[in-house]
Chains A and B, each alone.
Chain A
């Protein structure tokens, strides 16, 4: 299990984390497609679902319509948190700069921690913009569930999104750019199980077992309860516990993939 602990990782340097954040900020600043991915597409999805909720209000009532819209907003939060990790690395793979990054004295903790920070910032921006859009265009206040509940939901979704992104990053580092598309789309495979815009009870019985393996399922269930004025602390605690387990699993998986990639020579060949 030598891959589990790489040397000299006791101390994280704020300077190096700052460097990685600056690096990502500069890339974002110069890349219209990144701005597209992290702003326009998520907001566009919210707008589409917003109009759908206006339609649903007439047939299903306001509560269900709001649940759908809130689910879609929070899905964007989760998605952007996972996207940040995998795609953040890919910009350097495509530029043939990843070697330069990894022969500097950064360690894995700093690398992942910087993604966690940038992912959280991006997710927060999405939440603020989408909630503003939803309030003024669709007259739905996502913060109506209370700030505390919002924070718990946000933290849990970002936590899961980050861990999921770390798994995707591990796959990219191990198998190269042929799995690069995972950074964008792989999370969507699991979306039907996570009961984002509908309750778990809608799912066929065998799928419910799978659904309850994912922390976001509990988070989205909690969100729906909150929107109905109910307390959902049990769901949040389950989500947090699953998130902690998934986070440790994801980081161990990433370290294993990273070590295997360096062992097989795949890491050095990542840049083609």
Chain B
């Protein structure tokens, strides 16, 4: 059974199509990254998946149930956290959590809230007003709220945006721990590609409202066949230039002793071997393989080569 099934989801605002015929599925326990440049349609997709924006057409099914017809059933089994939404700022964390526990009809909610508070190391902060918390503390409070109903699926919209690297890392570690504990399904949007590579099983790239690529993070990076070679050499720059021109390679010098060569990954050993044969003394060799960030840039910019 698919936890989430999206078919031909489309959202038009007048003549502008924000989300264009998007379809995908998520199975239990999967973490799916939803990526794309600004304006790609990710946020509108999430808003429709949460029921706060009405699709122009398309089907959203949670747990094989039509979201529109069974909204309460679905909403009671999902939750959401985002860097861009807060809890009620005027009330304390404890009061916020009590309210959400009742909204989700959580049975025996007090021990549960206490357990989550302890887990997120917020015991000393429960009586603080939400607005008085630091960004990292707010993120933790948002996570507690997102877990209060033991959701089967959580939608996370850039949960680590504006967090410092330490808190962001702790947040990701928490997601990894959560996943080890139970087969929770997570739809994750982020602009941080290393985060996505770290936690996502699969990635969907959106651009201009459409899904333009879908694969595992590794599968997507393998789609970029090129790699970048950074060579540091002692002298004989003119010989290197002559060789690179003869081989019609894409290159860029950085000063008199460093050259960047972008080419197919499988051609790199031959280049090193050839230059060595030409008597070039290489003091440092570095190979830069494509990452998810390069895939992102390639899709966002529509360029073949994405290395700087």
Contacts and interface: CB of A to CB of B under 8 A. Distances in A.
Interface of A: 6-8, 13, 15-16, 18-20, 22-23, 26-27, 29-31, 91-92, 94-97, 99-107, 259, 262-265, 267-268, 271
Most buried by A among B51, B70, B90, B98: B90
Contact of A18 (B47, B86, B102): B102
A31 B84 CA distance: 23
Contacts of B71: 6-8, 105
A16 B53 contact: no
Interface residues of B, number: 45
Given A8-B71, A102-B52, A268-B52, A30 B102 contact: no
Q: Is the interface of A mostly helix, strand, loop or mixed?
A: helix
Given A101-B103, A103-B80, A262 B86 contact: no
Given A103-B80, A104-B75, A265 B53 contact: yes
Nearest to B43: A268
Contacts of A265: 11, 13, 18, 44, 47, 53
Given A16-B105, A22-B99, A22-B102, 8 more contacts: A8-B71, A19-B101, A92-B88, A100-B87, A103-B50, A105-B103, A259-B54, A262-B51
B68 A99 contact: no
A30 B129 CA distance: 9
Q: Is the interface of B mostly helix, strand, loop or mixed?
A: mixed
Interface string B36-70: 00000001100100111110000000000000111
A19 B103 contact: yes
Contacts of B98: 22
Contacts of B129: 30
Contacts of A96: 84-86
7 contacts: A8-B69, A16-B103, A19-B102, A26-B91, A262-B52, A265-B13, A265-B47
Given A99-B50, A259-B54, A265-B53, A7 B99 contact: no
Contacts of B13: 264-265
Nearest to B77: A105
B253 interface: no
B95 interface: yes
Contacts of B54: 259, 262-263
B85 to A, nearest CB: 5
Most buried by B among A23, A92, A264: A23
